[in-house]
Structure 1
Amino acid sequence: MSIRVLLVDDQEMVRAALRAVIDRREDLCVVGDAADGGQAVDAAFRLRPDVVVMDVRMPGMTGVEATRRILTEWPYDDPPPRVLVLTTFDLDEYVHSALRAGACGFLLKNSPTDQLAHAIRVVAGGEAMLAPSVTHRLIDAFAALPIGLVAGTPTPASGRHGLIGSLTERELEVLILVARGLSNLQIADALGLTQANVKSRVNRILTRLGLDNRVQAALLAHEAGLLPPLPHEET
C-alpha cells in the first residue's frame, strides 16, 4: 500500500518538482497539494494523507500554524498525518516553532531526491527524521531556550540528565545513535538487533527520560555531553 503524501509549498514549480520526485516511487503517492497553510489544513482534513510535506514560510497562514492546527484539530479517530518540514538554514526560527507544533521531521530544500523519499518513509513509519546538519543548529538554538520549551516537561535539566544514569548500557548506545540521526533500521544494523527491538528500546528510553519524541532525546543527549558537538557547516 502506497504512502499517501500531501505537498504544501507556495511555489507551483516547487510543488510540481516534488510531485515528480515522489510519484516516481512505487511506494509513494501524492494525493494533493496546497499553496498556503490554510489550504494545507483543509486538504489534510479532506484527503487524510499519511504524510504532509510542509513548507514553513508562506503567505497567509505559515506552515508552522498549519502544522499546529492539523495535529491539534484533527477531526478523526485515526491518528493525524505526520508532518515533514522543508526548511533552509536561514529559517531556523521556523524549524524551532515547527518542532514545538508537533512536526516530526526536518529536511533541507536542497537535499537529494532520494533523501526526500527516504524521509517520507521514515516519518510515515512513526520515526523522526533528524538530519544531522539541521540537528546541530537546533541544539545551538535550544540551548538558549527555557527548559520547558526544549523538552516539553517541567523536569529540571539536571534531573533529566540524572535520569540518563537509569538507562541500561544498551539503551545508552541506542540513545547515542538516535542523537546521531540514525533510523531504527540503521540502529538495528549497527547493534545487531531487530528493528522491533530497537523501536521498543527507543520507546522505553523516551518514557524513562520523560520525553515526547526522538528530537527531544537527541537534544538531551547532546546537552548531556554523550557525544561530541556536531561540526558546523562551512560558510
Structure 2
Amino acid sequence: MTIRVLLVDDQDMVRAALRAVLDRREDLTVVGEAADGERAVEAAVRLRPDVVVMDVRMPGVNGVEATGRLLADWPDDAGPAPRVLVLTTFDLDEYVHAALRAGASGFLLKNSPAEEFAQAVRVVAAGEAMLAPSVTRRLIGVFTALPAGRAAAGPGAGAGAAAGDGAGRPSGRGRLDLLTERELDVLLLVARGHSNQRIATELGLTQANVKSRVNRILVRLGLENRVQAAILAHEAGLLTG
C-alpha cells in the first residue's frame, strides 16, 4: 500500500528536496504541496493524504494553527484525518510543543538524514508517534517545565488544549488510576519512545496486543495519540516513580 503525503513548507527548495526523498521510495508518494497553513488545510481536505508533513514557521497561518484546524475540524464524511508529522529547524522550538498538543503525531528536525525522514513518515502513517528517545524525551522534558498556559497555546498559536484540560477530567497522576497495571507498563514504554515491536518484546506480548492496549490507553485517558500519552506520563511523574 502506497502512503500518500502532503508537503507543507513556505520554501520551494525545501519542498523540492522533501519530494525528492519521498518519491524515490516505492511505498511513498507526494500527492500535493502547500506553502502555508491555510492552503495546507484546504489541500488536505481535497487530497485526503495519509500524512501531512508540516513546517512550523510559515507566514500567515503557521504550522501549529494549521495542525489544530486540520485535526479539530476534519469533516466527518472525509474518512480518517491524516497524521501530521511536524518539521522544525530547532529541536526545542516552542511552536512544536503546541503542535504536539494540537494532535500532531510527532516531529522531526529538518537536518535529519533522508532515510530517517522517510521512515518517520512510515511510522506516523502506521499510527505510531515519531518519538525518537534521543530528541523527543528532551523536548517533552522542556515542554512539561513550561507554564501551563504557555505550553498549551504556544506563541501566537490558537491550537490545542493541554492533555489534562478537559472539563471535569482529572489531571496528572490521578488520570493514571484509570489504567490497569499492565496498561501502565505499556504507557511507561510509550513515554520512553519505544515502538510497538520493542514494547511487545520487553513485555512478552504480541504486537497486535500492544497496539490494542495502546488504543485502549488513549481512549481511557481521552487522548488523541501516543505523543500526548507520553506528555501525560511525563507530567504525571511516571518516569520518575
Class of the TM-score when normalised by the shorter of the 2 chains = 0.7 to 0.9
2:9 and 2:58 in contact (8 A); partners too:
yes
List aligned pairs for 1:158-177, cutoff 5 A.
158-161=173-176, 163=177, 166-168=179-181, 170-177=182-189
- Pick from 148, 151, 166 the counterpart of residue 145 of structure 1: 148
1:167 and 1:205 in contact (8 A); partners too:
no
Question: What is the RMSD of the two structures over their aligned residues, measured on CA atoms?
Answer: 2.4
- Pick from 155, 159, 179 the counterpart of residue 170 of structure 2: 155
Q: Cα deviations across residues 64-86 of structure 1 (Å, max 9, x unaligned)? A: 12222222332334111111100
2: CA distance, partners of 1:140 / 1:150: 16
2: CA distance, partners of 1:20 / 1:186: 31
Structure 1 length as normaliser, TM-score?
0.85
Q: Cα deviations across residues 176-234 of structure 1 (Å, max 9, x unaligned)? A: 210111121232233332211001111223344444432232123233443359xxxxx
1: CA distance, partners of 2:91 / 2:189: 27
Residue number in structure 1 paired with 2:7 = 7
1:34 and 1:40 in contact (8 A); partners too:
yes
2: CA distance, partners of 1:192 / 1:26: 33
1: CA distance, partners of 2:171 / 2:92: 28
Residue number in structure 1 paired with 2:46 = 46
Q: Shift in Å at residue 98 of structure 1?
A: 1.1
Structure 1 runs not aligned, ≥5 long = 230-235
Give the residue type in structure 2 aligned to 1:35: A
Structure 2 runs not aligned, ≥5 long = 153-160
* Match status 1:196 vs 2:208: yes
* Match status 1:22 vs 2:25: no
* Match status 1:129 vs 2:160: no
The share of aligned pairs that are identical, in percent, is 69
Q: Shift in Å at residue 90 of structure 1?
A: 6.1
List aligned pairs for 1:38-77, cutoff 5 A.
38-75=38-75, 76-77=77-78
Q: Shift in Å at residue 111 of structure 1?
A: 1.4
Q: Cα deviations across residues 13-66 of structure 1 (Å, max 9, x unaligned)? A: 111111111111111111111111122122112211110000010111111122
Aligned partner of residue 238 in structure 2, secondary structure: coil
Aligned partner of residue 54 in structure 2, secondary structure: strand
Structure 2 length as normaliser, TM-score?
0.83
1: CA distance, partners of 2:47 / 2:219: 33
List aligned pairs for 1:99-114, cutoff 5 A.
99-114=100-115
* Match status 1:180 vs 2:195: no
1: CA distance, partners of 2:240 / 2:207: 26
2: CA distance, partners of 1:67 / 1:158: 28
Aligned partner of residue 239 in structure 2, secondary structure: coil
Gap change, CA 1:228 and 1:155, over 3 Å in 2: closer
1: CA distance, partners of 2:231 / 2:102: 17
Gap change, CA 1:209 and 1:65, over 3 Å in 2: closer
1: CA distance, partners of 2:240 / 2:225: 21
1:32 and 1:43 in contact (8 A); partners too:
yes
1:106 and 1:131 in contact (8 A); partners too:
no
Q: Cα deviations across residues 94-137 of structure 1 (Å, max 9, x unaligned)? A: 11221232211111111122221111111111222223313322
Q: Say which structure, 1 or 2, has more relative contact order (CA 8 Å, 6+ apart).
A: 2
Give the residue type in structure 2 aligned to 1:82: R
